[in-house]
A = this chain, B = another copy of it.
Amino acid sequence: MNFKNFYSAHKEKINQELGKFLNIKTRQAKKISKDCEKLTEAVKEFTLRGRSKRIRALLVILGYAGFGGRNGREIIKAASFIELIHSYLLIHDDIIDQDDLRRGKPTMHKYFEHSVKSKLSEDKSRLFGVSMGILAGDLCCSLGYEILMKAKFSDKAKTRAIEELDNLIFNVIQGEALDVFAQTSKQTSNKEIYNIYKYKTARYSFEQPLRIGGILAGAGESDLNKLSKFAIPLGIAFQIQDDLLGLLGEEKTIGKPAGSDLREGKKTMALSLALERCNSKERKIIQSVLGGKDIDLKDINRVRDIARKTGALRFCGELIRDYISKSKKALNKIDNFDATARSLLIELADYISNREY
């Protein structure tokens, strides 16, 4: 089985599981009131939007299969939890980043803001939107815990999985806080960017989904730690690459306007390396473009040129290759890992290092 087949076979099952669970919760909310139904319905619509890739849920399944888990039905249920946790974080993140669109549709707070615009003032509509966004995110969080608890695994496996989920949220919130703090400071060090990549992406999106899968299969601490050594460099490589694509990609390949990250003032490894290596004139150019709301393609290209000329891009490419190679080596050191799961993860790692969209 190759990753593509595995992916399409499981993605649909995850979506079905989420749909079934969220239908039950919507009916429960409806019993309280029409308004509660609206909130839960909005959470369902958001979580089931077509563009969600479900990669995190697939990693839970691969961590489980890797350590010999065989209950294909229950692991689909359990793995769905991470997509609700992901909704939770995205909904809150969109308030923090003041984003209007998510997966091609209004963000949660914007959806609720629009819903009352005709009857409330602009200020009150905005507050209503943010309030409902906060609550919708909070709701997703408890629903994520709930769907995990409802899967039929042993109480021991589930309590361990919950402890890991607590860690996951602790880590990702720290990563987001780092990111929010970084927005308030002019200069962000490579170490700080590495930490944001590690906590906001590598641990949350790669390490802990895999570990939770492993835990549900009954893996021991030492095996889980080996899995972490595979997952963290992979996640960091993924984020460096993702930010590179954000810097270099065109709208049709990256799905958002070219230079969006520059416009948002996002601190990335490529940019940080360029700033480290450029001369003072070039530094001024980068700083004037970064966070500028009305920058155009010419500005974007000037930053791209500096990143290229200083070798920052090439160095990012080297970093990605190093992290991927470290990652694959670590995976090969786990003797008792299922061969199919291993080859799917290797394929994923290769895909990440080469992906262009």
* A interface residues, Cβ below 8 angstroms from B: 25, 28-29, 32-33, 35-36, 39, 88, 92, 95-96, 98, 116, 119-120, 124, 127-128, 130-132, 134-135, 137-139, 141-143, 145-146, 149-150, 154-156, 158-159, 162-163, 165-167, 169-170, 173-174, 176-178, 180-181, 183-184, 192, 195, 199
How many copies, total? 2
Contact with A178, one of B35, B138, B143, B150 (Cβ below 8 angstroms): B35
Nearest-Cβ distance from residue A86 to partner chain B, whole angstroms? 13
Q: How far is the CB of A265 from chain B (nearest CB, A)?
A: 11
Query: Per a CB cutoff under 8 Å, which of B88, B158, B166, B195 touches A33?
Result: B195
Contact A35 B158 (CB under 8 A): no
Contact status A166-B138, CB under 8 Å: no
Q: List 5 A-B contacts (CB under 8 A).
A: A32-B174, A32-B195, A35-B178, A96-B134, A134-B134
Contact across chains for B128 and A130 when beta carbons are under 8 A apart: no
Q: A130–B130 contact, CB under 8 A?
A: yes
Closest to A144 in B: B166
User: Is B96 touching A131 in the complex (CB atoms < 8 A)?
Assistant: yes
A128 in contact with B32 given A155-B159, A173-B142 (CB within 8 Å): no
Further 9 A-B residue pairs, CB within 8 A, beyond A96-B134, A139-B170, A141-B141:
A33-B178, A33-B192, A33-B195, A128-B180, A135-B180, A142-B169, A145-B166, A155-B159, A162-B162
Give Cα distance in the complex from A193 to B62, angstroms: 48
Cα–Cα, bound, A206→B248 (Å)? 55
A178 to chain B, nearest CB (A): 6
CB pair A181–B35 under 8 Å, yes or no, is yes
Contact, CB under 8 Å: A173 / B138: yes
Chain B positions within 8 Å of A174 at CB level: 29, 32-33, 36, 39
- Known A-B contacts A130-B95, A184-B116, A184-B128; the reply to A135 vs B176 at CB < 8 A is yes
Distance in angstroms from A215 CB to nearest chain B CB is 13
Those 8 A-B pairs whose CB atoms lie nearest each other, nearest first: A142-B169, A155-B155, A146-B166, A35-B181, A96-B131, A36-B174, A155-B159, A139-B173
Given contacts A32-B174, A149-B163, are A134 and B192 in contact (CB under 8 A)?
A: no
In the complex, A174→B139 CA distance in Å? 8
A177: chain B residues at CB < 8 Å are 35-36, 39, 132, 135
**Among B32, B135, B163, contact of A199 (Cβ-Cβ < 8 Å):** B32
* Of the residues B141, B173, B195, contact of A169 by C-beta under 8 Å: B141
